[in-house]
Structure 1
Amino acid sequence: MPQAKSFAVVGAGIIGAAVARELLARYPGSSVTVVEKEQAAAGHQTGHNSGVVHAGLYYEPGGLKAKLCRRGVELLQDLAQARSLPYEQCGKLVVALEADEEQRLKNIFERAQANGVPGVGMLGPDGIKDIEPNAVGRMALHSPGTAIISYAAVTEALLDEVRLAGGEVRFGCAVERIEELATGVRLHTSTGQFLADHVIVCAGSQSDRLARGSGANAQPSVVPFFGQYFQLEESYRTILNGLVYPVPDPKYPFLGVHLTKRVDGQMMVGPNAFLSLSREKYHGLGLDFKDLGEVMANPGFWKFASRNLPTAVREIRTVVSEQFFLREAAKYVPSLEGAKATRLTRGIRAQAMDADGKLLDDFAIDYRDHATHIRNAPSPGATSSLAIAEYIVDSLVSRSIA
């Protein structure tokens, strides 16, 4: 059994909460302290997403996303059952509208099979109608195991278990710098300094800054992208049984506008994806001069932008026009034509980008002697959170940390 030591976990989002819980389970008697700059848990990416439990359709077989997503689904199901958390296996269709999308859809189906996604199948127009009577398309991939959950509720449940196991959660405690020492780390925070044998940094949009500040590699850097969601009016709550997605464009790094049901029964449309003017401002213009200045000074971003101009033009239309946004969704569900919707609080995705302007496709974790930095954990990061925690703690054990 590993020797009891002291651990700090930076960030009380779902991954930070999962890591703290796993540490207490695997290192009995250890001191585990979660530090979070906000006054409550799940204040950023965890609390601003669609709540989809991804089945593992899209990810490169053998990669971390593929492996940890499938394991993460199993662990989420177990947790939801044990803690009586709402979990609805509503299923998902990925729909091809045009002939040139069909081969891309078949490629996704092959990936899903390679990743061991249960129950996936290909459907024609009649099969689409059997699953979603209001949807249309030439062909669709059906993933019956795709589900929905509240990740904020999951995070609260995990932190409850952390406290019950003797861990501490400190809110209103911003980590300003992490100093690696010969035998551990010193965390410099807004409420003072404290020591730990090892720190695991699960800081989302601030991950690159904290990594650089502790002597880790400057790259990858975080570039924030916002995603706008709309909630359809009440009469559209039952327009779908589950989720309807477009076939992703391989030239574009995100999944496109889709229709998503929430565990409260409301139906959402979104998100788009466009450069955010800040890392953590969710209302209004959302401008932060420091955050925007870092992006503008990043040569990698300009390389990325030059390769994605056509996509940016398409996405800006969904930013400025609610009706264009909804018309995109109505291509898949025609009865949405003329629907009204309410703009919801946007989400902001912390996307890691390398020096050449390429978005990191897989999860990225940076290991140092006394610090572990999660550098990239976008979707399916929430789905995979419990498995990411297992993976990180497995690494600590194998390296004889603590």
Structure 2
Amino acid sequence: MDQADYCIIGGGIVGLATAYQLLRKDPGASLVLLEAADTLGSHQTGHNSGVIHSGIYYAPGSLKARFSKAGAQQTKEFCREHGIPFAEPGKLLVATSRLELERLDHLEERAGIHGLEYERLSHAELRSREPNVAGLGALFIPSTGIVDYRAVAHKLAELVTASGGRVVTGARVTTINEHADKVDLGTVRGKYACRQVVACAGLQSDRIAELAGMHTNVQIIPFRGEYFELHSAKSGYVRHLIYPVPDPALPFLGVHLSPTVAGTITVGPNAVLGLAREGYPKFSIDVRDVARYVRFPGLWRVARKHALMAAKEVRNSLFKGSYLKECRKYAPGLTAADLLPYQAGIRAQAVHRDGTLLHDFLLSETDRMIHVLNAPSPAATAALPIGEHLANKALAGRTA
């Protein structure tokens, strides 16, 4: 049986950042990171729009707000230090109705509370800055950036290995047994014993917690986000990230245009109930995943509350013209021919049994284990400060 001081379950960006921060704080400690997939960052880390978020949406005082602002700065510093390409095109939140202008006022206030640099644009100023974007006005957040988070994750893995940590892929965890002085882990690649476990299992976080004997009222419901990519003829269609003004009554932000560090522009995502936690091709189905959530009362309570939104998202998924209509609210010049297929993402949305969608980070802890039950967007942006937070907890547990 392999032994280590620390074991990290999950090779996404949060797990890798936690391993990286632990070895910085406890140099010389032994650490093993176990990833079920054959490659690192293969799920939420590698299937997103690559945005370095500013934190403007999040409630003041929430972990999301605190971690996002710190994470944006730390991510950019990390990229500069290690030569990872990133850019700061800034984000335009575009209002297309009088109601959205009122909501923009609230977001402007929140930007001030968070200490973010911002600029309010009139209709004419918006058109001057982005001729292909239509709106009554906009709020510009210049600090919003773009990066390839998979590249960040791979660099973190290199640094973990260089510091003496072991990264084991294809190592799906099958058993977890906590004792007074250690935790025993069984995997398809062998057995491990460690002093402290930090589980950052993303789409499988609830299952890993249950495997460890934890009883929670939370389950991961997969929401599939489908993207398009603009045709190369539209490569310079927008210069900034173009976002709609979010409806505070709805759980997701809506379709947006995102320039990428590769020079393309993605459009999306929508948000439909996923039929597989890790199935990215359209119409992927995992019977085990579906059977689990159809028995969960929280799903049906969410469905009743957001039935109209769900129907709209399904329509957008099935019919390209309906999806295009969402885009044309603020990008009226786009046509169906401009929207090319692009990889989908799957969001691990934690839902309480009472139907509450959990929007902030959620941890569950024992003497020797920390389980991240919910790490919603902006988890990729905030990975480094989240990792530091988790590392501090694990270090305290080891020395207790």
Task: State the TM-score, normalized to the length of structure 2.
Answer: 0.97
Question: Which of 218, 229, 232 is equivalent to 2:230?
Answer: 232
Question: Which of 382, 385, 395 is equivalent to 1:384?
Answer: 382
Q: How many residues in Structure 1 have an aligned counterpart in Structure 2?
A: 398
Would you say 1:24 and 2:23 are equivalent positions? yes
Q: Equivalent residue of 1:386, what SS?
A: helix
Give the Å deviation of 1:156. 0.3
The CA RMSD measured in Å over matched residues stands at 1.4
1:329 equivalent in structure 2? 327
Q: Deviations over 1:192-223 (max 9, x none)?
A: 22100001001001000111121223221100
Amino acid across the alignment from 1:359: L
Determine the C-alpha separation between the residues in 2 that align with 1:153 and 1:79.
11
1:265 equivalent in structure 2? 263
Task: State the TM-score, normalized to the length of structure 1.
Answer: 0.96
1:163 equivalent in structure 2? 161
Determine the C-alpha separation between the residues in 2 that align with 1:306 and 1:16.
34
**Residues 199 and 370, structure 1, Cα contact 8 Å, conserved in 2:** yes
1:13 equivalent in structure 2? 12
Question: Which of 151, 171, 174 is equivalent to 1:173?
Answer: 171
Q: Equivalent residue of 1:383, what SS?
A: coil
User: Structure 2 vs 1, CA of residues 331 and 337 (structure 1 numbering), >3 Å: closer, same or farther?
Assistant: farther
**Residues 327 and 337, structure 1, Cα contact 8 Å, conserved in 2:** no
Give the Å deviation of 1:338. 4.6
Percent identical: 39
1:99 equivalent in structure 2? 98
In the TM superposition, 1:298-309 aligns within 5 A as 298-309=296-307
**Residues 134 and 334, structure 1, Cα contact 8 Å, conserved in 2:** yes
Structure 1 unaligned runs (5+)?
none
**Residues 326 and 339, structure 1, Cα contact 8 Å, conserved in 2:** no
User: Structure 2 vs 1, CA of residues 281 and 243 (structure 1 numbering), >3 Å: closer, same or farther?
Assistant: same
**Residues 218 and 351, structure 2, Cα contact 8 Å, conserved in 1:** yes
Determine the C-alpha separation between the residues in 2 that align with 1:182 and 1:146.
45
Question: Which of 144, 147, 150 is equivalent to 1:149?
Answer: 147
**Residues 320 and 336, structure 2, Cα contact 8 Å, conserved in 1:** no
Q: Equivalent residue of 1:200, what SS?
A: strand
Amino acid across the alignment from 2:380: A
2:138 equivalent in structure 1? 140
Would you say 1:312 and 2:276 are equivalent positions? no
**Residues 57 and 115, structure 1, Cα contact 8 Å, conserved in 2:** yes
Structure 2 unaligned runs (5+)?
none
Give the Å deviation of 1:367. 1.8
Give the Å deviation of 1:226. 0.2
Determine the C-alpha separation between the residues in 1 that align with 2:340 and 2:291.
31
Q: Mean Cα displacement is larger for which, 63-72 or 327-336? A: 327-336
**Residues 196 and 397, structure 2, Cα contact 8 Å, conserved in 1:** no
Determine the C-alpha separation between the residues in 2 that align with 1:339 and 1:401.
60
**Residues 196 and 394, structure 2, Cα contact 8 Å, conserved in 1:** no
Determine the C-alpha separation between the residues in 2 that align with 1:379 and 1:248.
15
1:87 equivalent in structure 2? 86
1:68 equivalent in structure 2? 67
Q: Deviations over 1:323-372 (max 9, x none)?
A: 22122112211221354222212100000011111110111111211011
Give the Å deviation of 1:401. 4.0
In the TM superposition, 1:98-117 aligns within 5 A as 98-117=97-116
Q: Equivalent residue of 2:65, what SS?
A: helix
Runs of 4 or more, structure 1, over 3 Å off, are 396-402
